[in-house]
Amino acid sequence: MTDWADRVAINDVLARYADGVNRRDADLWSSTWDEEGEWFLFGPDPVKGRDAIVAAWKDAMVGYPFVVMFASQGAVEIDGGHASGVSYTNEVARTAAGTELRVTGRYTDRYVKRDGRWGFAFRQFEPLHQQQI
């Protein structure tokens, strides 16, 4: 695969991630993760492994009956079957209690290419701005 093709494939991982959130599609969202992925979302410790990550995501989504996520790819550095970069998100959500939020954040991402397919090896979210709307 060329560098260009790898970049397109990595961008597709991010697009499927956001689409999975927006559709609440656990299978689509799960397909973006490497089987050994690590996800830092809440707290200091990562959730490790695709199955545990998907279970944590499903649990978190229960608290948000409405979410729409817009994601954009930042810089990506590719080194063979590994890549790193950042991505940015804008999300609008409604909590189970009815509070509406707007959250803007940055993910620090690492990707791995396994069996010809790119997936997230690591994601860490950093909120940049949060506003109740």
The pLDDT of residue 11: 98
What share of the chain has pLDDT > 70, as a percent?
99
Q: Long-range contact list for 86-89, CB < 8 A, 24+ apart?
A: 87/14, 89/18
For the chain, the domains span: 3-132
Residue-wise pLDDT tens digits, 11-39: 999 999 999 999 999 999 999 999 999 99
The overall average pLDDT reported for the chain is 97
**Angle made by CA atoms 18, 106, 15, in degrees to the nearest 5:** 20
Average pLDDT over residues 74-84: 98
Q: Which fold has domain 3-132?
A: Nuclear Transport Factor 2; Chain: A, (3.10.450)
pTM, rounded to two decimals: 0.94
